[in-house]
Amino acid sequence: MSVYSSEHDPDTPSSSHRLAAPLPLRDLIQGREFQMADGDYCEDDYNLCEEEFRPEQIKKYINFDALDLDVDENDKVICFADLRKKMTPVTADGRIMKRMKRQGLGEIIPNAGVVYYHYTAYANLEEEPFDNSYLRGNQKPQRLVLDKGAAILGVEIAVKTMKKGEESQFLVEPEYAFGKLGCPPRVPPEATILFQIEIVDFVELSDTTETAMIEHEETPEEKYKRLYKAAKDNHALGNDFFRKFNYKMAAARYRKARDILLDAICKGEEDEKVKNHLLLRVFSNLAICYSKIGKPNQVCMSCRDAFYYNEEEAKKNPKLYYYWGLALLDFGEFCGARNKLKAALRLHPNSEDVKAALKKLDEKQRHYEEKSRMMCRTMFSFNGAAENKTSVTVDEEKSDLKEEIVSMLKEKFNEARKNGIAEMVHSPEVQDSIKDMCAELATRDLQFFSRGNKLIISKRS
């Protein structure tokens, strides 16, 4: 089970449920009791998980505070009675209470941002947790985007009182938790919930990462500031996804930041300089993401754009040269790859990654040149030693080599189908043979052409 919900109103179910039997409209208008279908609980509303925790796992998280009850002067039952005395109110109505167990560091989590946290949740009269993020399969912290209605209201209010590294307990009344209905079978109706929350990390954002139209008329300066802030926040979200190794989502956020910045118009030179600095970081991060997910063509485009919009800073960025060199190496552009990698090495002489890439380039180029010489010898019998072989041996070598070349071309066609374009460098002597092979492999969605000793395969427009 998760503390996430699609609604802030705890008393209003967010999705429909099946009835055990049809209910006529007339009976519904006049009023009639009805029965829910078996098993049709509210798990979907709150993103309940299927996994059951093992007894030996739960044992560590048993909390007898949940069994503590008392009665006030009006004979009303008070849950977690002793624990409440050690807590302070978070909300004015006292329906969310807090007790800090470990202090955090830095600033309190802002109203807008992304929070990573662990939690354990107990319902009153249940000493075992009904949910625990530590015991989930991947044991990763929960990710919560604040102010998007992604969690029950009590959890979001609680999180906004905490700092990074802090661990606290919160008592959350049903009005801020699962409401009057609860969430059967794990959370009973009108249950007070004890949440134990630990903040792992958070990313601060402004109030919005979107560029929606503003109702009031704004000046060009106001518009630029709004767009720049939205771009910066998207860049921060991209960094957050990148740190979690989610490169596709990171690239999506970087693209959004790029598009916003390219639409942002500023008049002052200082603003232009700040904007281009952020734009360079966005293009650089985009290039890295595309390299991680195997899109060398997009890497090259991002690096070119970085130099186009901010050449002064781009020339000082070894990462741009490095990833551009790797992308060119994937295309078999040995000369261009070497130039980029050497430029990266000049800026970062001690980089082991760049040195390793240059070594890989040397090996790949040597292998390519050996293969090209073999192609020439075998297909055209340029080498005198080949003439001394029997015709059967030569034919076998030609057949094996042709199969190898066809296999390489198939890989390039698949690469073009995936990335939009693929390139391969070949020996000028075999250009006609390569073209004949490509003609057999070409499909309706792909086309090919040659530029000197380079074969280019791309999607048809």
Residues 260, 178, single domain; the answer is no
Residues 162, 65, single domain; the answer is yes
Identity of residue 445: D
The H-or-E segment that residue 457 falls in is strand 454-459
Number of structural domains found in the chain: 2
Residues 175, 307, single domain; the answer is no
pLDDT reported for residue 65? 62
pLDDT reported for residue 8? 39
Residues 95, 183, single domain; the answer is yes
- Greatest C-alpha distance within the chain: 111
pLDDT digits (tens, 9 = 90+) for 146-200: 887 778 899 999 999 999 999 999 999 999 999 888 888 788 888 889 999 999 9
Question: How high is the mean pLDDT of the chain?
Answer: 78
156, 176, 211 - which closes a domain: 211
Distance (Å, whole) CA 207 – CA 211 = 11
Residues 204, 74, single domain; the answer is yes
pLDDT reported for residue 50? 46
| Residue 300, domain extent | 224-364
Residues 355, 238, single domain; the answer is yes
Give bridge partners of residue 142 from the DSSP assignment.
117
Give the CATH number of the domain where residue 239 resides: 1.25.40.10
Residues 230, 289, single domain; the answer is yes
413 and 457 in contact (C-beta within 8 Å)? Answer: yes
pLDDT reported for residue 268? 85
Note the Cα 133 to chain centre separation in Å.
Answer: 20
Distance (Å, whole) CA 82 – CA 70 = 8
Residue of 323, 317, 355 lying closest to 337 (CA atoms): 323
Query: Does residue 189 belong to any structural domain of this protein?
Result: yes
Distance (Å, whole) CA 384 – CA 392 = 16
Give the CATH number of the domain where residue 164 resides: 3.10.50.40
Q: Which phi and psi angles does 159 have, rounded to 5°?
A: -60, -35
Residues 131, 90, single domain; the answer is yes
Residue of 145, 134, 129 lying closest to 4 (CA atoms): 145
Each of the 461 residues of the chain gets a pLDDT tens digit; together they read 555 543 334 333 344 445 555 555 555 445 555 555 544 334 333 444 445 566 666 667 766 565 555 545 555 546 677 788 889 999 999 999 999 999 999 889 988 888 999 999 988 777 788 888 888 766 788 888 888 777 889 999 999 999 999 999 999 999 999 988 888 878 888 888 999 999 998 887 765 555 554 445 678 888 888 899 889 989 988 998 898 899 999 999 999 999 999 988 888 889 999 999 999 999 999 999 999 999 998 999 999 999 999 999 999 999 999 999 999 998 888 889 999 999 999 999 999 999 999 999 999 888 887 777 766 665 544 444 444 444 445 455 556 667 777 788 888 888 888 877 888 777 666 677 777 778 777 777 888 877 767 788 888 76
pLDDT reported for residue 364? 87
Residues 193, 228, single domain; the answer is no
Tokens describing residue 436 = 């004949």
Q: Which phi and psi angles does 30 have, rounded to 5°?
A: -75, -20
